[in-house]
Amino acid sequence: MDEQEFLKLTDVSRETMDKFETYVALLKKWQKAINLVSKATLPDVWERHVLDSFQILKYAPSTGGVWIDMGSGAGFPALIVAMASDFDVHVIESDQRKCQFMREVSRETSTPITIHTKRIDAVEPFPATVISARALASLEKLLEFADPFSTQDTLLLYLKGQDVDAELTNAAKCWRMDPIKHQSLSSSEGSVLELRNVSRS
């Protein structure tokens, strides 16, 4: 998938597309110096990273609010969400170089985000409308990370791989939740996991 195929599939605005293209160009530039994403995925960045991140917005509330992305790495999905929506996006990432990269993308694309350069458990909790994570940890661990930032109305959106069913089964031993599993647009083995009414059992 290239940028034209992505545009045809998603029909994003020209302004948003310009920001995505700047983001991808900066990613390729910085990747030469620091390992932001898996090198093998770089030739297919529009499908593996941009589309994979963009699809998550389909399940988010249209009213906006506070969005926390945990373990943001190179900014997927956080920066894509910030560029394509009105959410107040916060990223939590302990790697200083990756945070420096995200600041540069934010600056070059005029995309406001708040970056917390800390471990997740070191951030003072604040209530979130949406909490997301991608390729960070097992579902059980993600629920532990999200708990201090969650209210009864918080929506959890996690991009998961082929082990999602086993992770759901394991997490259900300690947590109650209403899960919906959506087929990923970017991977036949992937899912977008939508979780509501999450609480410890």
What's the number of domains the chain is made of? 1
CA nearest neighbour of 54 among 11, 103, 117? 11
User: How far is residue 132's CA from residue 129's CA, in Å, rounded to a whole number?
Assistant: 10
Domain CATH number, residue 117: 3.40.50.150
Closest to 111 in 3D by CA, of 68, 82, 88, 90: 82
Q: Over the stretch 166-200, which tens digit does the pLDDT of each residue have? A: 999 999 999 999 999 999 999 889 999 999 999 99
Which stretches of 51-158 are DSSP H helices? Answer: 52-54, 78-84, 96-108, 139-146
pLDDT-derived band at 38 (thresholds 50, 70, 90) equals: confident
Range of the domain at 193: 3-200
pTM score of the predicted model: 0.94
Which tens digits make up the pLDDT trace of 112-162? Answer: 999 999 999 999 999 999 999 998 999 999 999 999 999 999 999 999 999
pLDDT of residue 43: 81
CB 72 within 8 A of CB 93: yes
Exposed / middle / buried, residue 32 (Cβ in 10 Å: 0-12, 13-18, 19+): exposed
Average pLDDT over residues 6-25: 94
Report which DSSP code applies to 176.
Answer: E
pLDDT level of residue 41 (50, 70, 90 thresholds): confident
Structure tokens at 141: 């661990």
Answer whether the bond into residue 43 is a cis peptide, omega within 30°: no
